[in-house]
């Protein structure tokens, strides 16, 4: 940080930050931060990643803070910060580029919402026609809005995600002009593997012992495993993390297979969970997921809706990170595993949160009244007393 003072916008008097308050002590004018830029040159900003803190010399903050959630070496890789608010963008930018390379004019997906939102956005940008199939009444409001806003053709299926994907695959098989962008598309998974590259990059190529992800169709966990494996083959890193997949209790064909040591999954009919993003009974990528978990000596775990909602609130209130319920599943699962002792709190753990909390405002209806805030009607200027009483 470069040196600065607070200067009054009116009388120009200067104050030190500690003594200043929010208004000029002499005339009550507005204050402004004034850096002493005499003799200063541009730091090596072009070598830093784009972020608010890239420009830290010109920000009036001295101390660097790090974030923690109880576990000593836990990192949250928050994929909700991607352009459309979920991890899907990594895969979609690559898959759309490939679709264009292949001369495709129409792209198609079935989705619980995030794939659709991402595909709709990247299709709009690329100028290709986008068709999305979504299970009616089972998709979070924010995701529906994204799909509509980006101008995709939205088809709602009476049924669940698994049925929507089945009919999408049939259509893509029969009519080649519709290019399927679900996670059976291998090019999309290539984009998604960059999650692993980025985790290693951000940790300075220190390999975390454990990576925890929510699992639906299983595209993301298997793509991440592929990414870690490629960096190992390139000898950028020596080993790979244990991969841990978390599913919702009533939508957990993969966790069930892992726990009962089956080599195959048994598809589940009518899966249920508040985490609609991972409400999937017949995950297409199951062979890749089971192999990734086995090879990495990882595991899979289930969590209840209640544990998911608790973890969502915990992450939001303790860390200021707001994720959607499916993402909170990874936090809830990690908590369960560390309580059981399957994860050692001293290990370096990366928990991937996959989508932004704003995507699913329906959670508001699930919160207890005690958590939804106080009411105070300000009827006249004398309400300060009432306000102070509440506080």
For binding to ligand F0G (CB under 6 A), which residues are involved? 86, 111-115, 183, 214-221, 277-278, 324, 326-327, 354-355
> Is the Cβ of residue 207 or residue 221 nearer to ligand F0G in the bound state?
221
Burial 107-119 (b: 16+ CB within 10 A, else e): bbbbbbbbbbbbb
> Is the Cβ of residue 7 or residue 182 nearer to ligand F0G in the bound state?
182
Tell me how far apart the alpha carbons of residues 138 and 260 are, in angstroms, rounded to a whole number.
29
> Is the Cβ of residue 216 or residue 281 nearer to ligand F0G in the bound state?
216
> Is the Cβ of residue 314 or residue 344 nearer to ligand F0G in the bound state?
314
Tell me how far apart the alpha carbons of residues 6 and 147 are, in angstroms, rounded to a whole number.
46
Residue at token pair 């972020």: 51
Tell me how far apart the alpha carbons of residues 199 and 59 are, in angstroms, rounded to a whole number.
27
Residue at token pair 């690329």: 126
Q: How far is the CB of 120 from ligand F0G (least distance, A)?
A: 11
Other CB atoms within a 10 A radius of the CB of residue 262 amount to 12
Alpha helices in the chain (DSSP H): 17-20, 88-101, 114-126, 141-149, 161-174, 186-192, 194-202, 219-233, 253-259, 286-295, 305-319, 325-340, 363-366, 384-390
Tell me how far apart the alpha carbons of residues 275 and 365 are, in angstroms, rounded to a whole number.
14
> Is the Cβ of residue 115 or residue 123 nearer to ligand F0G in the bound state?
115
């Amino acid at each position: 940080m470069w040196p600065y003072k607070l200067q009054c916008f009116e009388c120009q008097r200067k104050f030190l930050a500690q003594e200043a308050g929010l208004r000029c002590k002499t005339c009550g004018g507005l204050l402004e931060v004034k850096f002493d830029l005499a003799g200063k040159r541009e730091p090596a900003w072009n070598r830093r990643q784009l972020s608010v803190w890239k420009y830290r010399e010109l920000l009036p903050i001295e101390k660097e803070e790090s974030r923690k959630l109880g576990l000593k070496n836990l990192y949250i890789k928050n994929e909700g910060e991607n352009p459309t608010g979920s991890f899907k963008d990594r895969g979609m930018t690559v898959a759309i580029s490939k679709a264009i390379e292949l001369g495709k004019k129409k792209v198609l997906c079935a989705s619980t919402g995030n794939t659709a939102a991402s595909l709709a956005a990247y299709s709009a940008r690329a100028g290709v026609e986008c068709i999305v199939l979504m299970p009616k009444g089972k998709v979070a409001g924010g995701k529906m809005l994204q799909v509509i806003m980006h101008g995709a053709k939205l088809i709602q299926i009476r049924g669940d995600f698994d049925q929507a994907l089945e009919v999408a695959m049939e259509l893509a098989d029969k009519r080649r002009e519709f290019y399927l962008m679900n996670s059976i598309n291998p090019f999309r998974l290539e984009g998604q593997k960059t999650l692993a590259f980025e985790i290693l990059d951000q940790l300075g190529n220190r390999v975390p012992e454990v990576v925890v992800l929510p699992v639906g169709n299983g595209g993301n966990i298997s793509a991440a495993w592929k990414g870690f494996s490629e960096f190992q083959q390139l000898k950028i890193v020596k080993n790979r993390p244990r991969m841990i997949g978390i599913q919702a209790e009533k939508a957990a064909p993969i966790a069930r297979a892992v726990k009962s040591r089956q080599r195959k999954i048994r598809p589940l009919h009518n899966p249920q969970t508040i985490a609609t993003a991972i409400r999937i009974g017949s995950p297409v990528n199951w062979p890749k997921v089971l192999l990734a978990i086995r090879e990495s000596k990882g595991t899979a775990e289930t969590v209840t809706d209640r544990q998911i909602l608790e973890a969502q609130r915990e992450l939001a209130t303790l860390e200021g990170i707001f994720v959607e319920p499916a993402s909170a599943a990874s936090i809830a699962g990690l908590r369960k595993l560390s309580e059981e002792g399957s994860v050692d709190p001293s290990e370096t753990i990366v928990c991937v949160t996959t989508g932004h909390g704003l995507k699913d405002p329906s959670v508001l209806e699930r919160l207890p009244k005690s958590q939804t805030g106080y009411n105070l009607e300000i009827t006249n200027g004398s309400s300060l007393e009432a306000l102070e009483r509440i506080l």
